Amino acid sequence: MSTNAPRYRNSLPTPKPSRATRAFVFGITFLAVLATSLTFSLGTSALQLPGPTATPPPHVPGPEQTAQPDAIGYHGQATNTGELSSSWASGIATAWTLPASDALLPAQLIAEGSTLYALSYGSGADAVVTVSAYDVSGAEPVAQWSTTGPLPSRIRAEAFPSSVSTQDEILLSDIIVDRSTGSQTQAPWGSDLPMGVADGVLVTCDTFSSCSGWSHESGEWTTLWSTQTSPQRRAGLAHSGLTKPTTAVISSGTDKAVVVPVDEAHFAPQVINPTTGALTTLGEAPSGLCPSSSRVTLAGDGLLVAGEKETIAYNTAGQVVGTFNAGWELDRFPTTDRELPSVAFLGAFLTQGNAQWTSGALERVYSKDANGYILSLTLSNGKNLTLNPGESFRETRGGEGWSVAQVRASSDGKALYIQGYSGSPTDSFFFNAEDPMTYVSPVMNEATNFVWVYDDLLVGARADAIVAFTPDTH
């Protein structure tokens, strides 16, 4: 047996590792530990990461009913009290349809008593004005006359006022229409926009920088005065949704004045004395730093001019008659039933929310139950009704602000009407406020230029037709 073979292996001396070897081993060990720690950390972090954000519960809309397109005829009360009929609480129905042909734009509509006047423009070289009169007191409209006149110098589809009526005539920009026969003649004021008639004087404005007064004697219109104004709006007078005037004439008696269609984004409002042509400027021009134009509201006895945080009321003499701590943004809207309110009534509404001159006021409030906004209608008698609109009224999911073009309500609160809210500026809605229901009509949403003939008859126009709507009482 070889003496060189070890008997006991462990008894042999173990060589010490070099310094480099020890460093290498330590490095490997450290990396292994670090890797293990990172793996564990990442693993636990992954377990602790928050999951997907919880989806908020959806908005719960109220019930909704879509109107049938079939016409049922008009069978209402044929009365116009200036207040929405409560029968709209039963729904919307199409009363009748009048076809229109070769129209450039939807017809402008004027309602006077039981007569509906429809004004349409042809297209191209035939852009003449066709005026038709209908008796709409019965189940179906009855044509009275239809005439075609001279070419207008300017077509004003969106101007306000859209027309002005005198005892015998309808004034459409530069076209004069005899209301009994329909005969049309060219007006002597050219392309000026008729603003209103006060004490027998017609005031027209050129929508550039001047206005004129006209008298009508012995069948002729003659100029009384002409006044230079601040630069004007090409589309005529702008006004807020607080009131819904039909003319630029405000106040009564010797205090009557006509509001000038001033470019309110850059210049202070102005009014004209219809008898003398004297011009009065109300306040100061808006600041150029303001992000929005001042809001001008026509009242029964003056004007309200709203800035960003303050509203100032003026009488027709240009005197300040009230200052209210409220700016141009509104969170509630009065109904536009009944006559124009006074500046005092409007001031009380802006500061206290009271709309004593009309049927009520509407605001949007948040509801946890609906997980969205609902509508709150406060009647002038203090009664409050809330309703959750249907799915089509998407303003319930809107942001901070909202707006409407027109709100009407029956005095008993049963029926509510909203036209042109901020989420859908062209749509109209009727509501049953007591037994909440939202009524929508695709046919109505295709129409524009609405006029109220009666409390229970609303007429609008499309390019191809005039359509009337009435409560669905069937």
Q: Flag whether pLDDT at 189 surpasses 90.
A: yes
The residue among 121, 108, 118 whose CA lies nearest residue 159 is 108
DSSP element (H, E) containing 456: none
State the total domains in the chain: 1
Mean model confidence pLDDT for the chain: 85
Cα distance between residue 325 and residue 335, in whole Å: 21
Three-class DSSP category at 31: helix
Q: pLDDT, tens digit, for every residue of 101-160?
A: 767 789 999 999 999 999 988 766 667 888 999 999 999 999 999 999 887 777 676 789
The DSSP string of 203-221 is: EEE-SSSEEEEEEEETTEE
Pairing of strands 64-66, 437-440: parallel
pTM for this model (two decimals): 0.84
CA distances from 350 to 160, 347, 407 (A): 25, 5, 16
**Could you tell me if residue 103 is inside a domain?**
yes
pLDDT of residue 398: 62
Q: Flag whether pLDDT at 444 surpasses 50.
A: yes
> What average pLDDT does the segment 65-75 reach?
95
**Could you tell me if residue 40 is inside a domain?**
no
Give the least confident one: 24-28, 87-91, 116-120, 469-473. Answer: 24-28
Range of the domain at 446: 64-471
Q: pLDDT, tens digit, for every residue of 194-217?
A: 999 999 999 999 999 999 999 998
Percent of the chain with pLDDT over 70: 84
**Could you tell me if residue 306 is inside a domain?**
yes
The residue among 448, 431, 362 whose CA lies nearest residue 402 is 362
pLDDT of residue 12: 35
Write down the H helix ranges in 302-438. Answer: 343-352
**Could you tell me if residue 206 is inside a domain?**
yes
Q: Flag whether pLDDT at 417 surpasses 50.
A: yes
Q: pLDDT, tens digit, for every residue of 452-463?
A: 999 999 999 998
The residue among 206, 216, 230, 226 whose CA lies nearest residue 278 is 226
Tell me the CATH number at 253.
2.130.10
**Could you tell me if residue 211 is inside a domain?**
yes
**Could you tell me if residue 391 is inside a domain?**
yes
**Could you tell me if residue 59 is inside a domain?**
no
**Could you tell me if residue 308 is inside a domain?**
yes
Buried b (16+ CB within 10 A) or exposed e, 384-415: ebebbbbebbbbbeeeeebbbbbbbbbbebbb
The residue among 464, 430, 465, 427 whose CA lies nearest residue 90 is 430
Q: Flag whether pLDDT at 38 surpasses 70.
A: no
- SS in 3 state form for 48-87? HCCCCCCCCCCCCCCCEEECCCCECCCCCCCCCCCCCCHH
Neighbouring residues of 142: CB distance < 8 A, sequence distance ≥ 6: 134, 135, 136
DSSP class of 316: T
